C-alpha cells in the first residue's frame, strides 16, 4: 500500500473516532442503568439496553414538554426571522435610499455582541417591565436578535443574484413590488429561503443562555431542561443522557442534510 494512502486511512480513523465515540458514549449512557454506568471497568456497550430512560426523561422529567416547547419556539421564530428578513432583503437589494448600507450593517451587527451582554437588559424589559417571564412568545421574540442577521445575510445575497431585468419586465406587466417579490423572486430563491428557515430553526432550537433566565418552568426548552437536570443528576444520569440524545438529534439531522449551507450559515456567508 502506498504510504500516502496509509496516512489518509489513519487520519480518517482518528477523526472518525474523535467524533463518533463521544456520541456513542452519550447514547450508551442513556441505555445503561445507574449501577451499570458506575461499573468499573466500564461497560463499553449497554449490557441490558432499554428505552425506559427515554420514557422517564419524557414523562417524569418533562422532556416531552420541553421538546414541544423547543419545537414551537424554533419553528415560529424561524418563520418570523425568515419572512421579515426576506422583506428587508428585497427592499435593500432593489431600492436606493439614504442610509441603506448603515441599515444593513445595523441588522447584521446584532449578532456580534456576546449574548451575556444584554442579559440584564432583556431580563428587565421582558420579565420585570412587561411581565412576560416564562412564556414561549418571549423566546420567539428574543431569538430574532441572532436569527435575523443570519437570514438577512443569506437572503440578501440570493436577492442580489436575481437579474434586475426580470423586475423591469414584471413591472411592465403591471406587477407591484409585493407581487414581484412573492410571485417572481420567491420561486427563484426558494432553495435559499428553505435553508434560511432550517438554519434559523437550528440556532433557536440550540439556544441556552437567554432561555435560562427568561423561562422558569412552563416555557423551558430542551437545553434549559437539560441544564436543570444537573441538580438531580447525581441520581439520574441515564435519563439526563437520554434527554441529551434527544437534544442533539435535530441538530445532527439538520447538519447532515444541509452540510455546505450549515457552514455558510455559521460563517454568515463570508467564507
Partner 1 sequence: MAVNSRVKNLIMLMLLPCLMVYVVLALIPLGFTIWLSLINMWRPGETHLYFVGAENYVKILTDPMAMYSLRITLIYTVVSVAVEVLLGLVIGALMYESISVRRTLTPILVIPLGIPPITVGLIWRFLFHPDFGAFTYWLRTTTGLNINYAIHGDQAYALTIVMDIWQWTPLVAFIVLGGLLAIPTEYVESFMIDGAGFFRRLTHLYMRMIRSNLVFAIILRFMDSFKVFDQVWMLTQGGPGTATQYVSIFLYRLGLISWNLSEAAALSLIILLIVIIVSNVVTKIIKR
Among 49-57, 61-69, 184-192, 261-269, the segment contacting partner 1 (CB under 8 A): 261-269
Going by C-beta distance under 8 Å and a sequence separation of 6 or more, which residues neighbour residue 183?
Answer: 170, 175
Scanning residues 189 to 218, which ones bind partner 1 (CB under 8 A)?
202, 205-209, 213
Is residue 107 within the footprint of partner 1 (CB under 8 A)? yes
Please state the closest distance from residue 51 (CB atom) to partner 1, in A. 19
Is residue 59 within the footprint of partner 1 (CB under 8 A)? no
CA 253, 212, 214 angle in degrees (round to 5)? 110
Q: Which of 55, 72, 79, 91 binds partner 1 (CB under 8 A)?
A: 91
Please state the closest distance from residue 163 (CB atom) to partner 1, in A. 14
Given the C-alpha cell 455559521, which residue does it identify? 266
> DSSP labels for 97-108?
-TTHHHHHHHHH
Per-residue CA distances from 104 to 23, 85, 156, 181 (Å): 39, 11, 10, 19
State the binding string over 122-161 for partner 1 (x if CB under 8 A, else -).
Answer: xxxx---------------xx-xx--x---x---------
Q: Pick from 194, 112, 122: which is nearest to 146 by CA?
A: 112
Q: Which of 78, 195, 240, 242 binds partner 1 (CB under 8 A)?
A: 240
Q: Which of 46, 49, 115, 269 binds partner 1 (CB under 8 A)?
A: 115
How many residues contact partner 1, by CB under 8 A? 95
Is residue 177 within the footprint of partner 1 (CB under 8 A)? yes
Is residue 80 within the footprint of partner 1 (CB under 8 A)? yes
Q: Which of 60, 183, 190, 259 binds partner 1 (CB under 8 A)?
A: 259
Is residue 48 within the footprint of partner 1 (CB under 8 A)? no
Q: At what angle do helices 237-258 and 3-30 cross, to 10 degrees?
A: 140
Helices (H), 184-236: 186-188, 190-206, 209-214, 222-228
Please state the closest distance from residue 197 (CB atom) to partner 1, in A. 15
Among 45-53, 54-62, 186-194, 243-251, the segment contacting partner 1 (CB under 8 A): 243-251
**Hey, CA dihedral for 231, 232, 233, 238, is it positive or negative?**
negative
Is residue 85 within the footprint of partner 1 (CB under 8 A)? yes
C-alpha cell of residue 50: 432499554
Amino acid at each position: 500500500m502506498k504510504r500516502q494512502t496509509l496516512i489518509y486511512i489513519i487520519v480518517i480513523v482518528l477523526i472518525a473516532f474523535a467524533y463518533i465515540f463521544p456520541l456513542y458514549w452519550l447514547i450508551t449512557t442513556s441505555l445503561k442503568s445507574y449501577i451499570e454506568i458506575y461499573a468499573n471497568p466500564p461497560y463499553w456497550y449497554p449490557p441490558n439496553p432499554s428505552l425506559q430512560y427515554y420514557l422517564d426523561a419524557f414523562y417524569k422529567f418533562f422532556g416531552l414538554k420541553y421538546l414541544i416547547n423547543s419545537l414551537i419556539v424554533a419553528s415560529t421564530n424561524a418563520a418570523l426571522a425568515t419572512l421579515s428578513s426576506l422583506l428587508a432583503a428585497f427592499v435593500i437589494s432593489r431600492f436606493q435610499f439614504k442610509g441603506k448600507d448603515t441599515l444593513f450593517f445595523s441588522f447584521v451587527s446584532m449578532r456580534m455582541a456576546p449574548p451575556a451582554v444584554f442579559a440584564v437588559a432583556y431580563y428587565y424589559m421582558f420579565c420585570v417591565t412587561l411581565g412576560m417571564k416564562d412564556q414561549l412568545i418571549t423566546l420567539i421574540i428574543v431569538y430574532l436578535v441572532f436569527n435575523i442577521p443570519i437570514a438577512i445575510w443569506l437572503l440578501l445575497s440570493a436577492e442580489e443574484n436575481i437579474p434586475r431585468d426580470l423586475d423591469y419586465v414584471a413591472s411592465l406587466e403591471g406587477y407591484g413590488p409585493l407581487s414581484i417579490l412573492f410571485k417572481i423572486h420567491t420561486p427563484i430563491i426558494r432553495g435559499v429561503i428553505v435553508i434560511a428557515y432550517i438554519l434559523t430553526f437550528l440556532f433557536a432550537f440550540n439556544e441556552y443562555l437567554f432561555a435560562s433566565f427568561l423561562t422558569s418552568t412552563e416555557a423551558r426548552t430542551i437545553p434549559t431542561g437539560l441544564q436543570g437536570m444537573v441538580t438531580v443528576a447525581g441520581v439520574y444520569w441515564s435519563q439526563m443522557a437520554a434527554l441529551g440524545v434527544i437534544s442533539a438529534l435535530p441538530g445532527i439531522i439538520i447538519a447532515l442534510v444541509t452540510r455546505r449551507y450549515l457552514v455558510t450559515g455559521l460563517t454568515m456567508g463570508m467564507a
